[in-house]
Every structure is written in structure tokens, then in C-alpha cells.
Structure 1
């Protein structure tokens, strides 16, 4: 073997090994750090400036009360007044507080009508406190609402495009309180797998220990891998996670077939196997046609013309031979075999469920 040939072989082998390693997902793509998560915020507020498309105050008592309370903060008392404005709408404001958000940063908010308002187009959200699950205020939202649709109409016709009663405010909330979580100072954390699996958890722990050269990780259960900061590691937990999350792990999964009967969609994993089974799939078509005929009486007779019914019934059956899938076949062989029988996606759903009932399908079936 020449030197050039040896270099080419080495390059091909390295490329193949690199392709296999890159095909595996990173730890950051299959696991989350326990405690590092977002939090849901919610608030109740008012949108003003609507062009008559707001709430009807007679039907929305909560809108009237909220408007009275807002005006009282400006020393305006309108509790005894008969308000008829249609430019105000009560809304629910929701947002998601990202992890490690700093005070003063901005986040997007969603605004949804609570009463009988027809549209929020052109409205402005008044300063609305956003609270977490503990009842504390973490952000304040305010700004112009960008509705997701529009509505227009006259006396005889109307048209609506999208959902005009909901919208968003980009960077519409300012964070006032931070979620305290000292990640850097922690000596141990837990990684939570998004798809729990014993094999994947063990492979993740082995990959981390092999990289660090110490027994720093251990699989506690199918969904949790505990990670401790080694005594010889120069850095905090943030630096350790930055290095560990880039490691690639071969993720394993259970054999599963997911079926959406409403759309006829079928998704099968690569681990799906089928034992030896014989399949016969055919269709029976019955056609009934009515072709009545008229019966005329003889000339110069006292008879009457009548209509006689005549029905033609035709039965057609597909003559398809029984197909045999040799076990244990792979996913590609299973699909090729069923396609050879001319099976449609709708019929494939029934066939897979029948194979599972016969005990020949080595996978779980999940029907959406």
C-alpha cells in the first residue's frame, strides 16, 4: 500500500467516525438542568383607544369596575355616572419569564380579550402588573397592541380575518424582580432527560465520566443524572455545564408507532420490528344502480302507463394475494412489504393495529 493510499484510507475512516459521532445529539439537546426553567406570568389589565370595538359596559361588569378603579387613582370619581364608552376592553395579559432574567430587561407579552370586545386593533395596554404563581409581581406590561387579525363589516355583510381579539406586544414588559437561583455556587446539580430511558441515562453518565476522568456523574433513574463538580476541576458549575453539555450521546428510545387517525399520519421509530406474519388486504365494492323503465299499454286499450323499478347490483372484489412478512423485519422492510400490497395510509392503520393484536408487532402503538 502506498503512502497516498494509506492517507486516503485514513481520511475516509476519520470522516466515517466523525459522521457517526455528529449523528448523535448533544447532552444540551436531550436534557435540561433541574431548576433552570422559565416561569409563567399573568395579569389583568385594560386596553384603551379602541375605535368603538371594546367591551359593552352593560354586559361586562368587570370592565366597568376596572375602569372606575383606574380613574379613581387619578382622583376621578365616575361610580355614579352612566358610562357608555366602547373604547375600553378588559384583557388578560400573559408572559413567560426566562431563567436568569435580569431586572430592567424586556420580554414579550400576549394580550387576550376577556369580555365581548370585537377587536383590539389600535389599542394601548395600560400599565399592568404581571404576577407569578406565588402572587408576587415580577414585571409590568404596557404598550401598543399588535392584533393578529382584523374585522370589518356593514349592515348586510361583514368579514373577519384571523383573531382580532388577541395580540402581542413586542418587548412590552419590563422585569422588576429577578428569580434568584445560584447556579455557579452549587456543588451538585441534576440533569433531567426529556425522554426518560435507562440506556440513555447510563450512556450520558458514562460520557461525562469519560470526559472528566472522574466519577462525577451517576444515573439515578431513567430521567435523572446527578452531576457533581470534581475536586480537581478549576471552575464553577457554570463552566462545568458549558463543557459537559457539548458532549454527544447516542440516545435510545422504545419502539413506538404513533398514529393520527384524523389525518391518516403514521410515524414509526427505527426500532420497530415485526415477527413473521401473513397479511391479506383487499377491498369489496358494491354498486347499486336504479334504472326504472316505463310500461306502455297496448294501443286502443284501457290500460295505464306505469313505471317499473329495475335495480342492477354489481359486486367487485380486489383479487390480491396474501403477503408474508418474514420475521424479524426492519422498519424499511415493513414499509416496503406493505407498499407492495398497495396499502393506503388509512388501511395501514388498521393493519398495524391488527398485527399488534396478533402479537406480531414488537412496538407500542400510540393513537393521537
Structure 2
């Protein structure tokens, strides 16, 4: 049995490797405004509804599911059929929840995809067809009608106690299964006549750079940064030119500012850090100790013992040998000013494991030499 105490090995080659131009820090490239944020008011709208999937081959909800029986009775009553819940015993139908996303530019007649999920005790939705169901928004208004055959990427078959299942057969989709009935208008212009560009990640420096780029391209005074997340842009006077105006702004490119972070995952041994994350001058020293415990078993059988029988056997003796090995010298290295990228690449060249790199970064952070936040997942 070999037990290893300590794990950080830092070589004197660090000072040479880190000075190499090959490990120079990279700068952030320009990014389109479309990828950095969106205009306030330009958003998707969530739709939801519940309905019935019919045509199942005995894999639907059981008769003890009262919600399904009530839904079937209500549906049949729309066709002047007086059927009570107690008269419904079929397992060829299932009660489902339907969800969909309404885009901000949806018009009447547009088709959208919908998801269908079982909310009862159905075993599978394979082969079923969704009956026409209204989809509503948060305001309780109907915006689309859903209907069509359900596509399930799995199956479930059982017989005589044997079960075969693939993926989740109680979840399916209906491609282009909903038709938009009410158009949606994206109101981008605020009451003060501005377009508000909202950043995905709030950063005052990035907002300031966006303001400068828009004013340089679209004209002085067109944009001003309200806060670290919002940049207000003066809307055009001609409403018909709004789409071209927004497209020009979204195509502009700026260099976003990045917050220094180091993300480590000790379970998978992953380290992710920005190329410009700085490390001050620091010295690292650590040793490696190996403790080895070896046990040898021998049998004791004296020659004078010649009597055999119940209760007479050889005695097994265990001899343990404990040894401690320590390197002849403790390795120390001085790390000049640099970046996390330089350090990680240098450690990789010296064949230091990823988990050892994580321990080194945590120790440097504790020493106050790592100018970044360490996020441990």
C-alpha cells in the first residue's frame, strides 16, 4: 500500500519557461453588439396549455386518473356527447402539458414548434395525436392553437414482467404543431424616444465602449450609458427605418472588458482562466513525501508437531515494513509577474497534473498574489 502525502511539484524550469514569448497573454477580440446583449422589448414569449393525446395503444393514463377522465368528458361534451367520467375506461388517451415559445415578430398564421409532456401515469406517448388545444400567455389570452401527431424519440414495451425502454417515451414534440392566432409586436421605443440596449453581463467599461462606438458611427450624442447594463440610444424619427437602424447598431463591434476569474472543478480536474488574469511575483516551495507500508505473510509450522486433527493448523504471521521516502532536496521556484495562462502552460510543460495546478492556484490566491476570483464548481 502506497500513500502519497502532498502533491505539488514545482520545478526550477518555471523561470525559464515563463520568460518564453510563446506564453504571451492574448487579448480579447472584438465582439458584435448582437452577441453582447439585446434591445429591451425584443424577447420571446412563453406559451402553455394542456390537452389530450389520443390514439395510444393501451399506454395512456389509467382509469384511476380522474383528471384525464374529466378532460375526456369535457372534450366529448363539445360534440354534444353526454358521457360521464365513470363511463370512460379507455387507456388510449393521456393528459398532457403543451409548451411553446412565441417569437417577438410572430404574425398570424406562423407555425411554431411545441413540446408535449405527460402529466398523468401514461407509459408512452408513441403513436399519439394531440387534439386541438389553445396555448395561452401569462395574461391568460390565447395566442396559438396546437394540434398534430406527437413525435417521440423513445419507446417502452413490457410483457410478463419484462421491460424495454429507450429515452423518455412520455415526452415528445410536434414540429410546427402550433399556429399563431394573435400577432405580437415588439415595442422597442420607450416613452422618451430611446432604444435601450441591455448587456447580458453588466460591466461599466463595456457599456462605455459601446456608447463610444455608437456615437462614433451613428453620430455624436446618439448614445449614452445609463448604468453598467443599459445603453440608451436615440431612436430614428422615421419608424419605417427602425429595422435598418437596429441592424446597423447590432453589427457594430467592440472589445468587451472581462472580469478576472479562475474557474476550477476539482471533480474533473478542469481549470479555466482568462488569458489576462494577472499574478504578482511569488515564490513557491513544496516537497513530496511518500509513505510505503509493505506487509509479508509467513506460515509457522514447527517440525516437532506431528499430531494432526481437528483444531490443529499452521499459524500465519504477518510482518509489516514501514518506510518513508523524502526527496533529497526541496524544490523552490520564483515566479515573476505574469498571467495564469503563462503559469498553467509552464506547469503543463513540466508535467504537473491538473489537480496539482488547482492546488497551486488556490495557494497563490491565499497568498494574495492572484488578482482574480477563484470559482470552485
TM-score by length of 1: 0.85
- Per mean C-alpha deviation after superposition, the further-off stretch among 342-351 and 68-77 is 342-351
The offset of 1:172, in angstroms, is 0.5
The residue correspondences of 1:35-114 to structure 2 (distance < 5 A) are 35-58=41-64, 60-79=65-84, 81-114=86-119
- Per mean C-alpha deviation after superposition, the further-off stretch among 108-117 and 254-263 is 254-263
The offset of 1:329, in angstroms, is 0.7
CA separation of 1:276/1:90 partners in 2, compared to 1, >3 Å: closer, same or farther?
A: same
The offset of 1:305, in angstroms, is 2.3
Q: Which has the higher contact order (CA 8 A, sep 6+)?
A: 2
- Per mean C-alpha deviation after superposition, the further-off stretch among 269-278 and 135-144 is 269-278
Q: Structure 1: which 5+ runs fail to align?
A: 1-19
CA separation of 1:228/1:184 partners in 2, compared to 1, >3 Å: closer, same or farther?
A: closer
The offset of 1:300, in angstroms, is 5.1
Question: Number of aligned pairs?
Answer: 347
**What is the rounded CA distance, in whole Å, between the counterparts of 1:319 and 1:30 in structure 2?**
54
The offset of 1:315, in angstroms, is 4.4
| 3-state DSSP of counterpart to 2:31 | coil
Aligned partner of 1:322 in structure 2 is 331
Q: 2:184 aligns with which of 179, 188, 191?
A: 179
**What is the rounded CA distance, in whole Å, between the counterparts of 1:64 and 1:280 in structure 2?**
73
- The answer on whether the counterparts of 1:276 and 1:324 sit within 8 Å (CA) in structure 2 is no
**What is the rounded CA distance, in whole Å, between the counterparts of 2:328 and 2:160 in structure 1?**
61
The offset of 1:159, in angstroms, is 2.1
CA separation of 1:178/1:319 partners in 2, compared to 1, >3 Å: closer, same or farther?
A: farther
**What is the rounded CA distance, in whole Å, between the counterparts of 2:214 and 2:198 in structure 1?**
14
Q: 2:365 aligns with which of 353, 356, 360?
A: 356
- The answer on whether the counterparts of 1:297 and 1:304 sit within 8 Å (CA) in structure 2 is no
Q: Deviations over 1:232-277 (max 9, x none)?
A: x896332211212111111111111122333222211122111122
**What is the rounded CA distance, in whole Å, between the counterparts of 1:328 and 1:260 in structure 2?**
25
Q: Deviations over 1:159-218 (max 9, x none)?
A: 221111111110000111122334489831100011211111111111111112221000
The offset of 1:140, in angstroms, is 1.1
CA separation of 1:96/1:234 partners in 2, compared to 1, >3 Å: closer, same or farther?
A: closer
Let me know the Cα RMSD of the aligned residues. Answer: 2.7
CA separation of 1:185/1:219 partners in 2, compared to 1, >3 Å: closer, same or farther?
A: closer
Question: 1:206 and 2:215 equivalent?
Answer: no
Q: Deviations over 1:18-69 (max 9, x none)?
A: xx999411111112000000011111111111111111121x2211211111
CA separation of 1:80/1:61 partners in 2, compared to 1, >3 Å: closer, same or farther?
A: closer
Q: Structure 2: which 5+ runs fail to align?
A: 1-25
**What is the rounded CA distance, in whole Å, between the counterparts of 2:295 and 2:137 in structure 1?**
69
